[in-house]
Amino acid sequence: MTGPSRLASIVAAALLAVGATGCADETSKYERATGPSGDRSREDVRAGLGGRTQEQGTLFGPGGLLGSKAEKRDDTGTGVAVNAYLWRASLDTINFIPLVSADPFGGVIITDWYTPSETPNERMKVQVTILDRELRADGVRVSVFKQQTSPKGGNWVDAQVDPRTNIDIENAILTRARQLRIAGGS
């Protein structure tokens, strides 16, 4: 068996294996969502587990067919893949700027352009990236982008941002995260 027939056999075997994994779970949709007893604990509902406390195994292991699934991490019940204190603190710290995007699983917050009333010829945009599930000083990175109106034509042109600005916002986020952690009692 060589060439196209071997490739066809491999593809057919892969499709059969994928199809078999889809048929392996005979549990009803209701039972998967609520558990065999039909009730959910408040913690499971908050965590989005729907009564399930253990992930079911797969034919190809924790990596999936192509090894793309991330291994299961400790579930803190936060519903985000990054540190919840850093996430909340980041949103609290930049709450005066309209958001364009907030991805709690990727840990990225991007704001829209913001023009302070005291400097109408400048505008800024902020990107906050949360890098870790732990509350650590190096778990957050801030990038500030600044533009000014040009004297010729009034178009927006990129301007230099004081590097201290990024650090000041990071420190404000970390301070707020510590406050949230202390208030949370952990």
40-53 per-position pLDDT tens digit? 444 443 444 444 44
Question: Is 128 within 8 Å of 94 (Cβ atoms)?
Answer: yes
pLDDT tens-digit readout, 143-158: 999 999 988 888 999 9
Is the predicted pLDDT of residue 64 greater than 90, yes or no? no
Q: What single string gives the DSSP state of each residue in 87-119?
A: HHHHHHHTTTS-EEEEETTTTEEEEPPB--TT-
pLDDT tens-digit readout, 9-29: 776 666 665 555 555 444 444
Residues β-bridged to residue 126: 144
What is the arithmetic mean of pLDDT over 177-183? Answer: 94
Region of poorest pLDDT, from 26-35, 58-67, 111-120, 126-135: 26-35
CA distance 172 to 146: 19
Q: What single string gives the DSSP state of each residue in 165-177?
A: HHHHHHHHHHHHH
Predicted confidence at residue 186, as pLDDT, reads 57
Match 């892969």 to its residue by tokens: 14
Q: Where are the domains of the chain?
A: 1-72, 84-184
CA distance 104 to 129: 10
Read off the amino acid at residue 34: T
Predicted confidence at residue 62, as pLDDT, reads 55
Looking at the domain covering 84-184, what would its CATH class be? alpha beta
CA distance 146 to 124: 4
**Whole-model pTM?**
0.57
Residues β-bridged to residue 147: 123, 158
Q: What angle do CA 158, 164, 168 make, to 5 degrees?
A: 115
Question: Is 130 within 8 Å of 90 (Cβ atoms)?
Answer: yes
Is the predicted pLDDT of residue 131 greater than 80, yes or no? yes
